[in-house]
Amino acid sequence: MVAAVVGAVVVAGATAVATAGGRHTVSASARHVSPSVEASSASRPRYEITLPKALDGGRYTLARDDSAQLTKAVGESGRTWRSGEYTSRDGGVLQVTGAYGEVNEDPARDRAQLLSGSANAPGTAVTVKPSDFTVVGADTTFTCQVVAFSKGGRRTTFPECAWADADAWGTVLETTPGSRAAVPLRKMADLTAEVRGEVKVSS
């Protein structure tokens, strides 16, 4: 059940950004943008998003690479998409999704669109509204919320964070055994910053 809802949330959020891409991102071939923006978009991104074999200092290991499936589901070719499921020995699941390849004009709006997938996925509801966090050592803002998924009398609660900058964006969702009534979003923001640092590779 958890894998199904996480997959739905990831696709919904990614699709929201892809659909709005013409309004909020600039491709290298754009002709209607200002010269300064066009010059910026023509250059390669500072970094790309990868899926390393382990994350969070080795706590999570890569169990499945869903990048091809996400690319097909979203159906947008302006970016390179990455999505992977990581698992821990204690039964935790970490879903990491990211994309790069276009210049983001409005990172805050992209973060909001990414998290909107949780509200639109079947059976889900946002139980703690999005809040912004800054993390020491990170050069971007992280927006986090708590999502609940209910089906067949079962309820799963999980935190979700999104980040976006000029080069790329990403989301991190974490589920653990059982359902937690309260999820520390500050801790989730710190984890997301850690993961962001581990998946980034210089171009």
Question: Domain coordinates of the chain in residue numbers?
Answer: 2-202
Question: Considering only CA atoms, which of 82, 107, 85, 84 is closest in space to residue 14?
Answer: 82
Phi/psi for 134 (5° steps) reads -110, 145
Helix axes 2-19, 67-74, angle to 10 degrees: 50
Q: How confident is the model at residue 123 (pLDDT cuts 50, 70, 90)?
A: confident
Looking up tokens 């790069």 gives: 100
Q: How confident is the model at residue 111 (pLDDT cuts 50, 70, 90)?
A: very high
What tens digit of pLDDT does each residue of 158-172 get?
999 999 988 899 999
pTM check: above 0.75: yes
Looking up tokens 């709005």 gives: 20
Looking up tokens 């909020």 gives: 24
Please say whether the dihedral angle defined by the alpha carbons of residues 48, 53, 57 and 61, taken in this order, is positive or negative. positive
Q: What is the dihedral of CA 37, 139, 12, 29, to 10 degrees?
A: 20
What tens digit of pLDDT does each residue of 1-54 get?
445 545 555 655 565 555 555 333 322 222 233 333 333 444 556 889 999 999
Q: What is the pLDDT of residue 26?
A: 29
One DSSP character per residue, 35-96 reads: HHHHHHHHSPPSEEE---SEETTTTEEEEEE-HHHHHHHH---SSEEEEEEEE-TTS-EEEE
Contact 168, 14 (CB under 8 A): no
d(CA 179, CA 201): 34
Report which of residues 198 and 178 the model is more confident about: 198
Q: What is the pLDDT of residue 27?
A: 29
